[in-house]
């Protein structure tokens, strides 16, 4: 396929028609328009987020830094419940950031930007593989975390940073010390449950496939400023200094909220 960059995201539909579709992401979430959870509705469950993988790899794909892992058979993290039908397996996680700390998140809340947003991408296992899942309107589920600047660094990102020196240039990848996905949880909160916003949307990068159920955590993740700086030192395609797509039209979609249950162990 053709290449893309963040210089002219309005041109993406020329090469990738889905990017001009009616259920595109990200969006600006207006709190006064969010529907309430109905009583008795199922929460979103994260399963095996505490399981440590056998191997972990980070990749600079020219658009973001991506984390993948290999777990023992039956130990791959999954999510289920809430608005999801069936079980969705972890595929990869990555980040979107800006050229300065006032911008960077893809989703906005009441027009407010956050400096960074993390996406944990999952695919519906009944479709057999992620390529097939991406072709279906309910094939993918992305857990999004808006993050704010904090004195304490993000534990997961800290583990990833150990390998950043090897992936400064696009299309480099390197193995890192394996750790469980729960390392990305906010390291300040004792809460066991948190609210999520959910709406039907798309991949926020080309091919912009309209296959994503978005689950956006209300609880903010934390990141230290030096960690944001280390992400900005990674070189992206066409010397992009940011990798967040502008918000897209809602086109009549509604956003609602759900409960999450969080498990501290595997
Ligand atoms: S995002 O979370 O909306 N920013 C996002 C953007 C692009 C992808 C995933 C999430 N890429 C797609 C690949 C597909 C793959 C799918 C699931 O991820 O284009 O080939 O099947 O991993
Ligand atoms: Zn993303």
How does pLDDT run across 116-139, given as a tens digit for each residue?
A: 999 999 999 999 999 999 999 999
Q: What is the pLDDT of residue 30?
A: 93
Looking at this predicted complex, what is its ipTM?
0.98
What pLDDT score was predicted for residue 259? Answer: 79
Tokens 């595929």 sit on residue = 91
Task: Quote the CA–CA distance of 9 and 197 in Å, as a whole number.
Answer: 25
Residues 60-98: tens digit of each pLDDT: 999 999 999 999 999 999 999 999 999 999 999 999 999
CA distances from 77 to 22, 25, 46, 93, 255 (A): 31, 24, 7, 12, 26
Instruction: Indicate the pTM of the whole model.
Output: 0.96
Least confident of 36-45, 74-83, 178-187, 198-207: 36-45
pLDDT band at 2 (very low <50, low <70, confident <90, very high): low
* 263 pLDDT more than 80: no
122 catalytic? Reply is no
Q: Which of 93, 205, 215 to mutate to test the pocket of ligand 1 (most atoms within 8 A of CB)?
A: 205
* Distance between first and last Cα of the chain: 39
Q: Residue range 34-56: average pLDDT? A: 87
| Percent of the chain's residues with pLDDT above 90 | 84
Average pLDDT of the residues of the chain = 93
Q: Which residues line ligand 1 (CB under 6 A)?
A: 91-92, 119, 121, 123, 130-131, 134, 140, 142, 203-205
189, pLDDT greater than 80: no
């Amino acid at each position: 396929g053709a290449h893309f960059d963040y210089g002219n995201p309005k041109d993406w539909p020329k090469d990738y028609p889905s990017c001009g579709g009616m259920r595109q992401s990200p969006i600006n979430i207006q709190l006064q328009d969010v529907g309430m959870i109905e009583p008795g509705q199922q929460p979103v469950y994260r399963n095996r987020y505490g399981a440590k993988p056998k191997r972990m790899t980070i990749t600079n794909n020219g658009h973001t830094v991506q984390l993948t892992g290999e777990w023992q058979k039956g130990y791959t993290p999954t999510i289920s419940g809430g608005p999801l039908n069936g079980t969705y397996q972890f595929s990869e996680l990555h980040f979107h950031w800006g050229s300065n700390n006032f911008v960077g998140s893809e989703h906005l809340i009441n027009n407010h930007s956050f400096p960074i947003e993390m996406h944990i991408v999952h695919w519906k296992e009944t479709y057999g593989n992620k390529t097939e899942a991406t072709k279906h309107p309910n094939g993918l589920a992305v857990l999004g975390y808006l993050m704010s600047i904090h004195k304490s660094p993000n534990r997961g990102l800290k583990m990833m940073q150990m390998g950043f020196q090897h992936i400064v240039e696009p299309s480099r990848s390197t193995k890192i010390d394996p750790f469980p996905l729960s390392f990305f949880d906010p390291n300040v909160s004792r809460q066991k449950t948190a609210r999520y916003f959910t709406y039907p949307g798309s991949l926020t990068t080309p091919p912009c496939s309209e296959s994503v159920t978005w689950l956006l955590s209300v609880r903010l993740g934390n990141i230290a400023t030096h960690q944001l700086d280390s992400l900005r030192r990674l070189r992206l395609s066409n010397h992009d200094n940011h990798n967040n797509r502008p918000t897209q039209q809602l086109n009549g979609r509604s956003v609602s909220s759900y409960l999450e249950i969080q498990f501290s162990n595997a």
